[in-house]
Amino acid sequence: MKQNISRFCISILFFAVSFSATAQEETPKDSVKLKDKYGLRLGVDISKPIISAFNNKIKGFEIVGDFRIKKNIYAAVEIGFYERDTEEDYINFNSKGSYLKIGGNINLYQNWGKMSNEIYTGIRYGFSTFSQTLNSYSPNFDGTYFDEHTVSSNLAFDNLTAHWAELVVGLKVEVLNNLYLGSSVSLKKIISQEQPENFKNLYIPGFERVYLNDTGFSFNYTVSYLIPIYKKNK
């Protein structure tokens, strides 16, 4: 499901890049002073509600924002909520909580004319406060002497926290005046976390799946709108 959504969103972004370049390929006359727009850009991650619509075990939303500080430097923030019911070998559990990520991006793309697109890299500090509920588990016995059975527990572990760092690579394309489509991939590493006794954090809101060595990755697809506050000459 995630792969199909990813391919669809990537196709839209490639089309948007082509459309943006074609629509703005005419270079303005030298006598016209071009200006860069500076302001607050707000949007949402559209991948999460799309996934939630097809998978009732996942719920979440994320609001994204950035503010242009200098020509190629942006302050960035993401805030959201995430809930997931997970059933794996021998265990069924629920993860639920909110998160905040703050950091910055550097735009590596050289715009021409009136274009205002980005191909960027950035860093984030992430923090999440969440709960884990162990719904049921099946004891894993060696051999087949004992019959497998499921134990219902409904053990709740509240007030858990996690801190992590992210490396982000992504792009944003202006498809209409001040309206942007975007996509990014994040590589993550946990700095510190609280875990229930005898129960490892397998999913953390904002971090998502925790892999070996406390690493992880995630993606997002965004629609955002720029609120221009002032302009500077290019």
**pLDDT tens digits, one per residue of 91-104:** 788 999 999 999 99
Mean pLDDT value of segment 205-232: 95
Which residue from 166, 178, 180 is spatially nearest to 219, judged by alpha carbons?
166
Instruction: Give the domain ranges of the chain.
Output: 2-23+35-229
What one-character DSSP code corresponds to residue 9?
H
33-49 pLDDT, tens digit per residue, is 788 899 999 999 999 99
CATH number of the 2-23+35-229 domain: 2.40.160.20
| DSSP states of 142-159 | SSSSSPP--EEEEEEEEE
B/e letters for 8-43, b = 16+ CB within 10 Å, e = fewer, are: ebeeebeebbeebeeebeeeeeeeeeeeebbbebeb
Mean pLDDT value of segment 135-143: 63
When the pLDDT of each residue in the chain is averaged and rounded to a whole number, the result is 85
Q: What is the pLDDT of residue 146?
A: 53
- Are the beta carbons of 63 and 78 closer than 8 angstroms? yes
Between residues 164 and 113, the one the model is more confident about: 164
Q: What is the pLDDT of residue 29?
A: 47
CA atoms of 227 and 106, how far apart (whole Å): 20
